[in-house]
Amino acid sequence: MILVIGGAYQGKMDFVKDTFDITDSDVYNCDKAEIDFSNRCIYKIEEFTALCDDPIGYFETHQDEWQDSILILQDIFCGVVPMGAENRAWRQRTGRLAQYLSQEAKQVSRIFCGLEQRLK
């Protein structure tokens, strides 16, 4: 599994398309509390974590399905602690999932202004 992280609008998807020969038909856009891992590339995992209470548990349960996937997760961990309890919980769930996934990943790339920084 390859994990691609980075802030909003930094070019994560463009990097994945350029580097791994991914097209739109390979991409699953997260928008609910479950993920269809039959697509090669899973995008906007931060939208999945916004809706799923136990994202690490979910990924563990489906472990066999994403071993060869490219996972794209927005880095939402660096701002001011959000005022709303819901956003605070979202931020924490997402950060914990990022740690779990980066441990499992064979490659971790952070995208900064369109440029790759290899973290693992």
Partner 1 sequence: MTYFISGGAKCGKSSLAQDLSVALSKGGRHYYVATMISTGSEDNDRIRRHLADREGMGFETVECFRNIMDCLKIADKNGVFLVDSVTSLIQNSLFPVEKNYEMDLAGANRCADELVEFSQTVRHAVFVSDYIYSDAERYSESTEIYRKCLADIDRRLAKTCDTVIEVSAGQPIIHKGDLCI
Footprint on this chain of partner 1 (rule: CB under 8 A): 6-11, 75-80, 82, 87-88, 90-91, 94, 112-115, 117
- Would you call 60 helix, strand, or coil by DSSP? helix
Nearer to partner 1, 67 or 92 (CB): 92
What's the min distance (Å) between Cβ of 13 and partner 1? Answer: 12
Least distance to partner 1, CB of residue 91, Å = 4
**Alpha helical stretches, state H, 37-84:** 45-51, 55-61
Specify the residue, 48 or 69, whose C-beta has the smaller distance to partner 1: 48
Please say which residue, 20 or 112, places its beta carbon nearer to partner 1: 112
Measure the CA–CA gap between 69 and 40, rounded to whole angstroms. Answer: 5
Nearer Cβ to partner 1, position 64 or 78?
A: 78
On whether the CB atoms of residues 41 and 91 are closer than 8 A, the answer is no
The least distance separating partner 1 from the CB of residue 37, rounded to whole angstroms, comes to 25
Cβ at position 93, least distance to partner 1 in Å: 10
- Closest to 50 (Cα-Cα) out of 94, 98, 96, 6: 94
CA distance 107 to 19: 13
